Amino acid sequence: MPGRLGFASATTALVALLAVLLALTVRAVPHTAFYDRNLPWIVARGTALVALILLAVLVAAGILISHPLNRTIWRKAKQLLVWHRYLAAFVVALVAVHVVAIVLDQYAHVSLFGALMPGDAGYRALPVALGTLSLYAMLLTALTAGYAQKLPPKVWLYVHRCAFLVFVLAWTHGLLAGSDSATLRPLYVGLAALLLAAAATRYWLEIPRTRRVAPDGGKGT
């Protein structure tokens, strides 16, 4: 897993594990014409939803690690960082399976090139393009996550904060590309509310600490 195997190795191991679990599930579930015809879509949609939920928890954990209350009261940075790394590997693995499944779905009309090149998909080109951009932003954030000591601190921080952008792009992609988004709207709203609440409290509580003293000795606003 991350930290022991390394991020790339852990992600590869998780992809292999997911493939085995999916193969066992496919064999165990009774087959019907609808099931056989829509299996790639079922896998693609299922992995996408789980990935989005875990991505929300991943970003929320990242916000909590640097939360003012965590620095002064909770002091759970080490525990949160472990889960942060595990969740990152799970999200990347799930997204990899999602991309493969949607490419294999003959009804989605999303080729491998369409999945990797924004705007080239045959199905809902703009929403799929947002998903592709989210994928690249996620890979950038994940691959640079382990270089905090090698990159300039500000550069690393700005790149790592792309994780919030990853969620926004993935959230919008899922909402616009999914044919069942109306049914799942409460889930999308709940995930967005979770992250907005975490971010709002984190930066709101940070304001008093960053206030500067005015030249006349009073507190700045």
Cα angle 45, 50, 54 (rounded to 5 degrees) comes to 145
53 in any annotated domain: yes
How many domains are contained in the chain?
A: 1
181 in any annotated domain: yes
Write down the pLDDT at residue 207: 59
9-65 per-position pLDDT tens digit: 777 888 888 888 888 787 777 777 777 788 888 899 989 999 999 999 999 888 887
Write down the pLDDT at residue 130: 94
217 in any annotated domain: no
214: left (phi over 0), alpha (psi -120 to 50) or beta: beta
211 in any annotated domain: no
- What number of other Cβ atoms are within 10 A of residue 145's Cβ? 18
152-196 per-position pLDDT tens digit: 878 888 888 888 899 999 999 999 988 888 899 999 999 999 899
> Residue 54 and residue 63: Cα distance in Å, rounded?
14
Asked if residue 114 lies in contact with residue 122, where contact means CB atoms within 8 angstroms, the answer is yes
Asked if residue 82 lies in contact with residue 111, where contact means CB atoms within 8 angstroms, the answer is no
212 in any annotated domain: no
Q: Using pLDDT thresholds of 50, 70 and 90, give the confidence band for residue 210.
A: very low
> Amino acid letter at 104?
L
120 in any annotated domain: yes
216 in any annotated domain: no
Structural domain including 98 reads: 7-29+37-204
Write down the pLDDT at residue 221: 40
158 in any annotated domain: yes
Beta bridge partners of 219: 213
Largest CA-CA distance found in the chain, in angstroms, rounded: 78
> Residue 155 and residue 182: Cα distance in Å, rounded?
39
